[in-house]
Amino acid sequence: MAGGYAWLLAAPAAFLALFFAWPLVRVVWRGFTDPVLGLGNYARVFGDGPYLRVMLNTIETAATVTALCLLVAYPVAYVMAKTRGRWLQIMAALVLIPLWTSVVIRSYAWMVVFQRRGVLNDLLLATGLVDAPVSFLPGALGVHVGMVHIMLPFMVLPLLSSMRAIDGTLLRAAEVLGASPTKVFWRVFLPLSLPGLNAGVALVFMTSLGFFVTPALLGGPQHMMAAVLIEQQANTYLNWGMASALSSTLLVVTLAIYVVYLRVSGGAADAALVR
C-alpha cells in the first residue's frame, strides 16, 4: 500500500478482523473441536446420510437457478440495451422495483401463488386442466421459481451494463463485412457481452448457494438447501459443531467454484465486477 493513506484502512480493517475474520476462525475451529477434537463432524458431512445430499442439492439448485436466470435475463437485457428513452426507464423500473420488497415477503407471495388453494391451482382448476389441486408445496418448483425471481435483477444488471457498452459501429461493421444478423449476434454481440454474462453468473450462483429464506419457506425437508440445514443444526439441535462443519464446507465449495470459474472465464467476471 503506497502513500501515506494506509492508516485510513485501520478502522475498517479492525472492524473486519473483529466481526468477520475472528468469527470465521471460530466457526472453522469449532467444526473440528465441538463436541470433541477430530474429524468426526466432517465424517458425518461426507458420510452416508442427509448432509451430503443437501450439499449436492444446494449446488444443483444454484446451478439450475443460474441457468434459468441467464435464459430469462439475456433476452430482457438485450431488448433493454436496444431501447432508449422512456421505454428504457419503464423497463429499468420493472427490473428494479422488486428489489425494494424484502425477500421474505416475495417468498410468501410465491407461497400464495403455489399453495393448495392458491392462485395457480385456482387457475388450473378453473380452466379444467386438472381435476384436483396439485401439490406444489413444498417442492423444487417453488424454490426454483422463487429464487429465479429474486436473483433476476442481479443477472439483468451486469448483462445490461455490458451490452450497453458495445459500440453499435462494430455490429454495423460486421454486417457490412458479410455477417447476417444471426452471425453478428454469435460472433460479435455475444462475445462482447461475455464480461457481463460472467459477472452475472458468478453473482447469481454464489448468492444462490447461500440462500435461506426462499428454500426454508418453499422447499421443505425434501428440497432442503445448505443454509436451511445449517440453521436447523444450530437452532433446533444446538449442534454447533455440525453447523460449523457444514458452514466451512459450503464456504470452501463456494470459493473453489469461484476460482475455477475465474480460470475458465479468463478473469472476465472479476474484471466486470470490479469495473
Partner 1 sequence: MSSAARGAPLAIEGLAKQYGDVVALAPTDLTIERGEFFALIGPSGSGKSTLLGAIAGFVPPSGGRILIDGDDVVAVPPYRRNIGMVFQNYALFPHMSVFENIAFPLRLRKASEAEIRARVERMLAMVRLPGMGGRRSNQLSGGQQQRVALARAAIYDAGLLLMDEPLGALDKNLREEMQDEIKQFHRQIGATVLYVTHDQEEAARLSDRMAILNHGRLVQVGRSRDLYEAPRNAFVASFLGEANLFAVRHMTSTGGGLAVDTREGIPLAALRGPAGAINGAAVMACVRPEAIELARPGASGLDNRVEGVVDDVVHAAGTVRYRVRVGDGFAITVRRPSRLQAEDPGVGERVALSWRADDTLLILKE
Q: Is 188 among the residues that bind partner 1 (CB under 8 A)?
A: yes
**204 touches 159 (CB < 8 A):** no
Asked if 166 contacts 193 with a C-beta cutoff of 8 angstroms, the reply is yes
Query: In the set 71, 119, 173, 260, which binds partner 1 (CB under 8 A)?
Result: 173
For partner 1, the closer CB: 229 or 268: 268
Length of the chain counted residue by residue: 275
- The set of residues, in sequence order, having a beta carbon less than 8 Å from that of 145 and lying 6+ positions away, is 110, 114
**Considering the rule CB under 8 A, would residue 180 count as an interface residue with partner 1?**
yes
Residue number with CB closer to partner 1 (106 or 183): 183
DSSP letter at 139 equals S
Minimum CB distance to partner 1 smaller for 157 or for 174: 174
Residues touching partner 1: how many (CB under 8 A)? 19
By C-beta, is 26 or 172 nearer to partner 1?
Answer: 172
Whole-number Å distance between alpha carbons of 164 and 173? 17
Establish if 175 lies at the interface with partner 1 (CB under 8 A).
yes
Nearer to partner 1, 82 or 172 (CB): 172
Given its phi and psi angles, is residue 267 left (phi above 0), alpha (psi -120 to 50 degrees) or beta?
left
On whether the CB atoms of residues 218 and 137 are closer than 8 A, the answer is yes
C-alpha–C-alpha distance, residues 138 and 107, integer Å: 12
Is residue 82 involved in binding partner 1 (CB under 8 A)? no
Number of H helices, E strands in the chain: 15, 0
Choose which of 21, 170, 260, 264 interacts with partner 1 (CB under 8 A): 170
Kindly state whether residue 264 participates in binding partner 1, applying the rule CB under 8 A: no
Per-residue string for binding with partner 1, 113-132, x by CB under 8 A? --------------------
By beta-carbon proximity to partner 1, the closer residue of 169 and 222 is 169
Q: By the criterion CB under 8 A, which residues form the site for partner 1?
A: 167, 169-170, 172-181, 183, 187-188, 191-192, 194
